Chains A and B, each alone.
Chain A
Amino acid sequence: MNTRFSIRHAAVLGLLALLGLAFWTLLAGYTPDAELNRTAAYYAENTARETGAQNIVTAIIVTYRGLDTLGEVTVLFLTAAIVALVLGQSKAPRGGTGSGFLPSGELLTTGTRMLLPIILLFGAYVALNGHLTPGGGFQGGAILASGMLLMLLADPARRFGHRLIARVESVSGLAYVAIGVLGVALAGGFLDNRILPLGEFGAILSAGAIPLIYALVGLKVGAEFSSMLESLEETEDS
């Protein structure tokens, strides 16, 4: 038995050593570019004029490669749906969970009550300022969901409204696609952000539809993460 384990370890180490050698040659021969490649240079030169966004990464994600982001949101939706499907089969009967828990304690309960509004506010701030500062809808949505996680930790027996979460998710998803289609009708193409005026460069209400799209993405991602947390929470053993 013992020898088999050591053979396994040796085989794994041998394979990883080969991979490490490949990594080492990559690392040793790597020199950073002296100037931006053509794609990046295009984004650097034209982002401000074409999208009005200060944050170039946001402009790429929401406008230039907006279709890919729609796909990414779809993947996330599929993940949440599959997690709900897989865990739904071992779902506890209504009111059947949480009773086996020790109370979560005064510190956590009071702390949650104090911190939750601030966390939600911060999530909304991060999502809405995506075109100006580092951040955006995905990060903001994750922060919103972390507030939900804190709430679940403080009160494990609590249940969110399933229908509310499902509705927030589907309405924001549909609105995202509708904005994309409006871009075809009113501006240059699918998910073009110039359906709204670009506004003053650097202002919060600028960059056309980007703040709107990122607010919707934030809501959708927050709802999806919350529904995943909820599925994990509502299993029989929790």
Chain B
Amino acid sequence: MHLVAMAAGFALILMGLFAALTHRNILRMIVGFTLANTGVHVVLVSVGYMPGRAAPILDDAVPVAEAAARIIDPVPQALVLTAIVIGLGITALMLAYAYRLFRARGSLDIADYTELKW
């Protein structure tokens, strides 16, 4: 099961990068980056998964004394929580810059921005 999740995550990364690299519209590129970002999260969470174990919450199902033998790795989940928040910040920044570019040039086509081209 975790291999399916991991493969889906890798597929999302590749799809997102493909979208970001081939589309000309800046908004579509942002959607591509967000897809790739989600893929990274899925891969990270699936790395922490261990078959037959419970979520890292010490309730009735997981007694404190047996916790180390019963729960999955909590560290990747904590990492992904951080990554989701930072990813959201990056997406908001990209959208704000896209808006400024549109205001400055009246276009969201990346081909119209030739200053950094060589």
Interface residues of A (CB under 8 A from B): 8-9, 12-13, 15-16, 19-20, 23-24, 26-27, 30, 32-37, 39-41, 43-45, 47-48, 54-57, 60-61, 65, 68-69, 72, 75-76, 78-80, 82-83, 86-87, 89-90, 132-134, 136, 138, 142, 201-202, 221, 228, 231-232, 235-237
Contact yes or no, B49 A48, CB < 8 A: no
Whether B89 pairs with A45 at a CB distance below 8 angstroms is no
Interface residues of B in 77-105 (CB under 8 A from A): 77-78, 81-82, 84-86, 88-90, 92-93, 95-97, 99-100, 103
Count contacts on B: residues with CB < 8 A to the other chain: 45
**CA gap between A73 and B108 in the complex, in Å:** 31
> Quick one: closest B residue to A79, CB to CB?
B89
When each residue 3-23 of chain B gets 1 if its CB lies under 8 Å from chain A and 0 otherwise, what string results?
100110010011001100110
Q: Which residues of A contact B110 (CB under 8 A)?
A: none
Asked if B28 is an interface residue, CB under 8 A from chain A, the answer is no
Cα of A24 to Cα of B11 in the assembled complex, Å: 10
Q: Are B68 and A61 in contact (CB under 8 A)?
A: no
Interface residues, chain B, CB within 8 Å of chain A? 2-3, 6-7, 10, 13-14, 17-18, 21-22, 49-51, 55-59, 64, 67-69, 71, 73-75, 77-78, 81-82, 84-86, 88-90, 92-93, 95-97, 99-100, 103
Docked complex Cα distance between A65 and B81 (Å): 13
Beyond A8-B22, A57-B78, whether A45 also contacts B68 by CB under 8 A is yes
With A57-B77, A87-B96 in contact, is A202–B68 under 8 Å at CB?
no
**A23-B93 contact in complex given A33-B73, A60-B74, C-beta closer than 8 Å:** no
Set of chain A residues within 8 Å of B14, measured between Cβ atoms: 16, 19-20, 23
Q: Are A44 and B68 in contact (CB under 8 A)?
A: yes
Q: Given that A12-B21, A86-B100 are known contacts, is A57 also in contact with B81, CB under 8 Å in the complex?
A: yes
Q: Are B74 and A32 in contact (CB under 8 A)?
A: no
Asked if A232 meets B96 with Cβ closer than 8 Å, knowing A44-B71, A54-B59, the reply is: yes
B55 to A, closest residue via Cβ: A134
Which of these, B58, B78, B96, contacts A82 with CB under 8 Å? Answer: B96
- The answer to whether A35 and B69 have CB atoms under 8 Å apart is yes
